[in-house]
Structure 1
Amino acid sequence: MTEAPAGIRRGRAPALAMNLLARLAVLGLVALTIFALPRLLPGDPLQAMLASDHAQSLSLAELAALRERLGLTAGWGRQLGDWLGDLLRGDLGHSIRHARPVAALVAESLPWTLLLILGAMPVYLLLGALAGIRAGRAQGGALDRGLTGLVTVLASIPPFVLAILLMLGFAILWPVLPAGGALPLFPSDQPLVRAGQVARHAALPVAALALHEFARFYYLARAEAIGLSRRPFVLNAEARGLAPLRMLADYYGRNILPAFVARMSDSISGLFGAALIVEIVFSYPGIGGLIYGAILDRDYPLLQGATIIVAAGVLALNWLIDAVLAVLAERG
């Protein structure tokens, strides 16, 4: 494996720095957008509270004092300045609905979302690679036509429809898995049993996310396999009669890996977006349910804090993937 010239290595740091600055600029736009959009919706946090029984007995003076205490009487400029100042100090604010720090709520919800994403990634990466390589090596054959047609249909189904179909099939018509939640009503205190309960409740959401991303990597692996099948070194290896597993791992898998890493940037963004919807369908206690509840309650601090954490995490992961790709490209 060859090393990159010194000039290319020296040029990598400025490129990555500019890439990081671009992502920080995107994060700034996300912050401005998530600040403005909830305030354009009808109602505000106080009106959402008045829609319930929590504040029906308050007098007009008490309502005015509460509105001022919530910071709703200040102009948008003042509210934005206060929020950005708190954000730069690492303070995500205090949830109006839950009466708890936003950071604590996000810390409780985010691991559940990461569990779904980390559970789905190896499934769709492995299955997408295996199915795509198999179809690409038999381009135009019955297997290729059948798989590609099936994946094309699958790719046209939105993730929330996949989630509903999986729930209907495996939790209602054939009730072998839970229909929602992350734990049973009375979870076990034994770690291994509890882990099994968590896995059973996560199975359908993970399957919905994996099916959503499977098509992306199937098409990529298939296209790469078609090209590799015509390369002389692959043709020579097949002529020598190498073992199928070695052909799959060393001649196809290793050469497809950089393309998979390059596509992971888009995949991570798509996974987080799909997870937010899938969590709502399955009533899963992840960051998606938290954001959805914040929208319904007009809980500005919670909505802003949860969204900015997700956006920052996705942008950071994308930047790291770009850095890995730059290293792979230099080493050849």
Structure 2
Amino acid sequence: MTGSPGIRRRTARLAMDLLARLAVLGLVALMVFALPRLLPGDPVQAMLASDHAQNLGPAELAALRERLGLTGGWGRQLGDWLGDLARGDLGRSIRHARPVAALIAESLPWTLLLILGAMPVYLLGGALAGIQAGRARGGALDRGLTGFVTVLASIPPFVLAILLMLGFAILWPVLPAGGALPLFPSDRPLVRAGQVARHAVLPVAALALHEFARFYYLARAEAVSLSRRPFLLNAEARGLPPLRLLVDYHGRNILPAFVARLSDSLSGLIGAAVIVEIVFSYPGIGGLVYGAILDRDYPLLQGATITLAAGVLALNWLIDAALAVLAERG
């Protein structure tokens, strides 16, 4: 069969990509183990600084270090952690005295809520704005939108978050300044869902604005290129409705480029989500990682980071697989 060699090549390429990502995950594991230990202090010193262990003697401190797995050198600690990781055990948080997996399971849905809320906004918004600007290349709309997006792209996500908080939670207090729920959340599911959505508006807006520029420029460039193609000129000459031109001609041709760019976007989006969550005191992975850094909570920092890295690499691999299928179909 003519299709079999192509399928075998695609499968082999995807298998090699998977192995490469597993190698990257291994490097991430080594880095997330080593880098926190290069910071000044350790979990026991952090406890002493926060009055948790002020009255412990030298023998008790040594026993505490042994119980926390901080003795025996880096080689032993790394071997113990990798062994636990191979069994699916992310360890136990020193600061929270709870399994790391349970803490991640509680925090991850909040981060996913922000990411899944922001993605449709910047994907659809970037596509629509970019296509309209590209179709009117050099016009007033193109110059205005491109100038605005250029300024927007130069603003870091934490500054965007602060500006949104300042504008819509302090100067014009129409939205909450932080958190995921009010102090006294409702017991009624619909009301509670509305409270969650209201608290997520500003963090979602900060993430969407951060990624909007990336897809606006991509959609604009693709629209400019498509505007010179004979099939599109023919469709416009036939007087097809603008909505059909937008969806069937521009949208379908821009889709593979958007899927390809999603692979890069996810990494930046998750990094931005961590920062935005810290600014808005949002109970996601960002706050968990930030607290683990301050407390030198090695198990929590290692578990949260390796979970995020594994998720990003897996999603990137799936996106590359989808892109290969789209490219094969033309």
Secondary structure in 2 aligned to 1:199? helix
Deviation at 1:4, TM superposition (A): 8.0
Q: For residue 190 of structure 2, what is the aligned residue in structure 1? A: 192
How far, CA to CA, are the matches of 1:208 and 1:74 in structure 2?
44
Q: Is the 8 A contact 1:95 1:302 kept in 2?
A: yes
Q: Give the whole-Å Cα distance in 1 for the aligned partners of 2:52 and 2:2.
A: 65
In structure 2, distance between residues paired with 1:56 and 1:233: 76
1:86-235 correspondence to structure 2 within 5 Å: 86-235=84-233
Distance 2:306 2:44 in 1: 23
Q: Which residue of 2 aligns with 1:18?
A: 16
Query: Residue type of the partner of 1:93?
Result: G
CA apart distance, 1:8: 1.4
> How much does 1:281 deviate?
0.2
- 3-state secondary structure, aligned to 1:230: coil
| CA shift for structure 1 position 6 | 3.0
The SS at the match of 1:295 is helix
Residue of structure 2 equivalent to 1:289: 287
Q: Distance in 1 between matches of 2:149 and 2:78?
A: 45
Deviation beyond 6 Å, 4+ runs, structure 1: none
CA-to-partner distance for each residue in 1:266-285, whole Å, 9 max, x for gaps? 01111000000000000000
Letter in 2 for 1:33: M
Structure-1-length-normalised TM-score: 0.98
Note the 1:1-16 alignment, pairs <5 A.
5-16=3-14
- TM-superposed CA distance for 1:52, in Å, is 1.2
Structure-2 separation of matches of 1:72 and 1:325: 45
Amino acid corresponding to residue 180 of structure 1 in structure 2: G
Contact 2:71/2:77 (8 A) holds in 1: no
Kept in 2, the 8 Å contact 1:102–1:302? The answer is yes
Give how far 1:5 is off.
3.5
- TM-score, length of structure 2 as denominator length: 0.99
Cα deviations by residue, 1:97-139 (Å, 9 ceiling, x for unpaired): 0000000000000000000000000000000000000000000
- Give RMSD over aligned pairs: 1.0
Residue number in structure 1 paired with 2:301:
303
CA deviation vs aligned residue, 1:292-322 (integer Å, no higher than 9, x gap)? 0000000000000000000000000000000
Which of 250, 253, 256 is residue 252 of structure 1 equivalent to? 250
Please list every run of 5 or more consecutive structure 1 residues that lacks an aligned counterpart in the other structure: none
Do the aligned residues in 2 keep the contact of 1:4 with 1:331 (CA within 8 Å)?
A: no
> Identity across aligned pairs (percent)?
87
Tell me what 1:74 maps to.
72
2: CA distance, partners of 1:61 / 1:293? 28
SS in 2 for 1:217: helix
Whether contact under 8 Å (2:108, 2:285) holds in the other structure is yes
Task: For residue 313 of structure 1, give the secondary structure of its aligned residue in structure 2.
Answer: helix
Q: Tell me which residue corresponds to 2:238.
A: 240
Q: Secondary structure of the equivalent of 1:57?
A: coil
Q: Distance in 1 between matches of 2:138 and 2:52?
A: 65
Contact 2:207 2:269 in 1 (8 A): yes
Contact kept in structure 2, 1:4 and 1:330, CA below 8 Å: no
In 1: Cα distance, 2:4 partner to 2:258 partner:
27
In 2, Cα distance between equivalents of 1:68 and 1:96 = 13
Q: Is this contact kept in 2: 1:128–1:221, CA < 8 A?
A: yes
